[in-house]
């Protein structure tokens, strides 16, 4: 929390004259740099210390003897009949301290200030501070929300090129990883029974690995979160404007990242191009969901904690997506993550789109199950391959065969539901991120530069 006012009680006590002067000079520099006021109580300030005051308040017996610019004290003393012949601070203290002067003489100075204050109608210091803060707050809150979004949108667009960790590096990484796996599974281009599972395994690898690279923007945003909170705390923009502007840039980039990940698969592994749009939607939604996790975990107290949290979510989804472990083998209530986390729905929808309405696979022949159930138990058989490698000729047959081994697959088209569930995670993490941002800056009003008041001394005699 950035303070608007710092109060220091006798900061120069116990210091020699040179050290005291340097301390006051430093306080003045800090006040200017941080745009805040510094109030100090100083007893018997030296000439060099007094020269560092902007505003000075002198009290005597609980009454104000002087309040105003330090540079104007000499003129006031002259009008009060106590001209400063040497040190202005010493002259003022001698004039109002009854240990060095009579009560009547001190009363004359106090009365002179009261007459002057009444004539000038000088406002109290707290009124000046309040007006300055209200003026700054009004200027800040009057900025239209859409204008804040516009400014932040331009900033986010500049970051596309200035911060390669966010998107540019991932674009190259996604394309490289997809090319690598496509080369490993290059034989899956042929639509034969032996290549059904390698083709699906290639899809499984890419669908699960791409979201893992969300750790890159997590690191970048972890380093930026302090400055983002500070700007919000200072009233430059609202949390909702930042999240909205960030999302406007983020969503198109999710489709760009998904395209970089999918294009090598369609080109090298000969995926059916008619399904590209469906794969693009599923992949972009998944990346957006894990982008939300990364953004949320960037608010963790330490980047390492955020990284561990993200990896935990990703690995849990990988382990419980229905491919490695059947759902019935996972105990409750942990099993709920099998159905809740995005990766299960990504794998299911991607597999359906990959095999449904695609050209037939060779090696499987149709048969009549009622004629010979021992050979034709599924409506097809493979004369040249073992039964465990016989998946079927059509997409529905392949999906049915896969579903008998792995419960993540199904012949039912759940692509729409899958995208809704995945996007639901993205929206939920965004809203919770917005709430955490707002909570992190709550209770902090916009800070105003205090015009002409950087160091305020209080001298009590």
- pLDDT one-digit tens code per residue, 239-298: 999 999 999 999 999 999 999 999 999 999 999 899 999 999 999 999 999 999 999 999
Q: What is the pLDDT of residues 408-428, one digit of tens each?
A: 899 999 899 999 999 999 999
Q: What is the 3-state secondary structure (H, E, C) of 320-336?
A: CCCCCCCHHHCCCCCCH
**Could you tell me if 107 and 178 lie in one domain?**
no
Number of domains in the chain: 2
- pLDDT tens digits for range 195-207: 999 999 999 999 9
Pair 185, 258 in one domain: yes
How much is the pLDDT for 370?
A: 67
Comparing 181-185, 349-353, 456-460, the range with the smallest average pLDDT is: 456-460
Q: Is the model's pLDDT at 116 over the cut of 70?
A: yes
Same domain, 93 and 150: no
pLDDT number for residue 246: 92
pLDDT above 70 covers what percent of the chain?
Answer: 89
**For residue 185, how many C-alpha atoms fall within 13 Å in the half-sphere facing its CB?**
28
Hunting for tokens 């019935």 — which residue is that?
328
Residues 158 and 106 in one domain: no
Selected residue with higher pLDDT from 77 and 198: 198
Which pLDDT score, from 0 to 100, does residue 128 have?
53
| Paired tokens of 91 | 């002259």
Instruction: Calculate the CA 236 to chain-centre distance.
Output: 15
pLDDT above 60: residue 459: no
Q: Is there a single domain that holds both residue 290 and residue 198? A: yes
343: domain range? Answer: 144-441
Distance CA(213)–CA(440), nearest Å, equals: 27
CA Rg value for the chain: 36
- Residue 461 pLDDT more than 50? no
> What is the residue-wise DSSP string for 300-315?
SSSHHHHHHHHHHHHH
Cα 279 from chain centre: 29
Q: Which two tokens stand for residue 4?
A: 């608007």
Together in a domain, 208 and 251: yes
**Statement to judge: residues 71 and 190 lie in one domain:** no
pTM of the predicted model, to two decimals? Answer: 0.67
**Same domain, yes or no: 155 and 224:** yes
Judge if 272 and 215 occupy the same domain: yes
111 with 132, same domain: the answer is yes
Question: Is residue 1 predicted with pLDDT exceeding 80?
Answer: no
399 within 8 A of 356, measured Cβ to Cβ: yes
Q: Where are the alpha helices (DSSP H) in 320-450?
A: 336-340, 342-355, 395-403, 415-441
Q: How far apart are CA 269 and CA 187, in angstroms?
A: 8
Give the residue with greater pLDDT, 446 vs 279: 279
pLDDT grade for 446, boundaries at 50, 70 and 90: very low
Average confidence (pLDDT) over 306-334: 89
**Most confidently predicted of 40-54, 158-172, 199-213, 442-456:** 199-213
Q: In whole numbers, what is the pLDDT of the chain averaged over residues?
A: 83
pLDDT above 50 for 55: yes
Distance CA 340, CA 402 (A): 21
For the stretch 206-249, pLDDT in tens is 999 999 998 888 888 888 888 888 888 878 889 999 999 999 99
pLDDT of 80-111, one tens digit each? Answer: 887 877 788 888 888 888 777 788 888 888 88
Same domain, yes or no: 351 and 262: yes
Question: 129 and 148 share a domain?
Answer: no
CB of 279 closer than 8 Å to CB of 357: no
Q: How confident is the model at residue 125 (pLDDT cuts 50, 70, 90)?
A: low
């Amino acid at each position: 929390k950035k303070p608007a006012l710092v109060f220091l009680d006798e900061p120069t006590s116990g210091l020699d004259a040179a050290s005291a002067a340097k301390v006051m000079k430093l306080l003045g520099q800090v006040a200017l740099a941080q745009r805040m006021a510094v109030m100090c109580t100083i007893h018997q300030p030296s000439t060099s210390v007094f020269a560092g005051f902007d505003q000075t308040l002198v009290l005597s017996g609980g009454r104000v003897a002087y309040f105003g610019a330090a540079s104007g004290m000499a003129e006031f003393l002259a009008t009060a009949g106590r001209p400063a012949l040497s040190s202005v601070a010493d002259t003022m203290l001698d004039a109002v301290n009854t240990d060095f002067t009579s009560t009547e003489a001190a009363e004359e100075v106090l009365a002179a200030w009261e007459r002057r204050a009444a004539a000038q109608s000088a406002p109290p210091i707290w009124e000046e501070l309040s007006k300055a803060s209200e003026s700054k707050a009004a200027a800040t809150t009057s900025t239209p929300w859409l204008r804040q979004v516009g400014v932040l949108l331009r900033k986010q667009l500049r970051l596309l090129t200035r911060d390669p960790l966010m998107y540019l590096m991932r674009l190259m990484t996604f394309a490289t990883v997809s090319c690598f796996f496509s080369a490993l599974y290059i034989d899956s281009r042929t639509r034969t029974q032996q290549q059904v599972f390698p083709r699906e395994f290639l899809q499984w690898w890419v669908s699960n690995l791409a979201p893992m690279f969300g750790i890159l923007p997590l690191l970048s945003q972890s380093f930026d979160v302090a400055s983002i909170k500070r700007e919000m705390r200072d009233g430059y923009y609202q949390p909702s404007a930042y999240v909205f502007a960030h999302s406007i840039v983020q969503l198109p980039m999710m489709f760009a990242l998904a395209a970089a990940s999918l294009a090598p698969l369609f080109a090298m592994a000969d995926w059916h191009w008619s399904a590209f749009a469906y794969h693009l939607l599923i992949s972009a939604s998944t990346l957006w969901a894990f982008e939300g996790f990364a953004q949320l975990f960037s608010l963790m107290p330490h980047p390492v904690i955020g990284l561990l949290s993200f990896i935990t979510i990703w690995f849990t989804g990988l382990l419980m997506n229905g491919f490695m472990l059947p759902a019935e083998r996972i105990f409750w209530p942990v099993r709920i993550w099998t159905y809740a986390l995005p990766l299960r729905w990504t794998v299911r929808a991607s597999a359906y789109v990959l095999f449904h309405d695609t050209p037939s696979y060779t090696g499987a022949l149709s048969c009549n199950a009622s004629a010979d159930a021992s050979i034709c138990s599924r409506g097809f058989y493979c004369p040249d391959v073992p039964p465990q490698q016989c998946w079927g000729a059509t997409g529905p047959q392949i999906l049915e065969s896969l579903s008998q081994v792995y419960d993540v697959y199904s012949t039912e088209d759940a692509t729409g539901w899958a995208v809704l569930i995945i996007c639901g995670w993205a929206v939920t993490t965004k809203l919770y991120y917005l709430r955490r941002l707002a909570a992190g800056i709550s209770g902090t009003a916009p800070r105003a530069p205090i015009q002409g008041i950087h160091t305020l001394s209080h001298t009590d005699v």
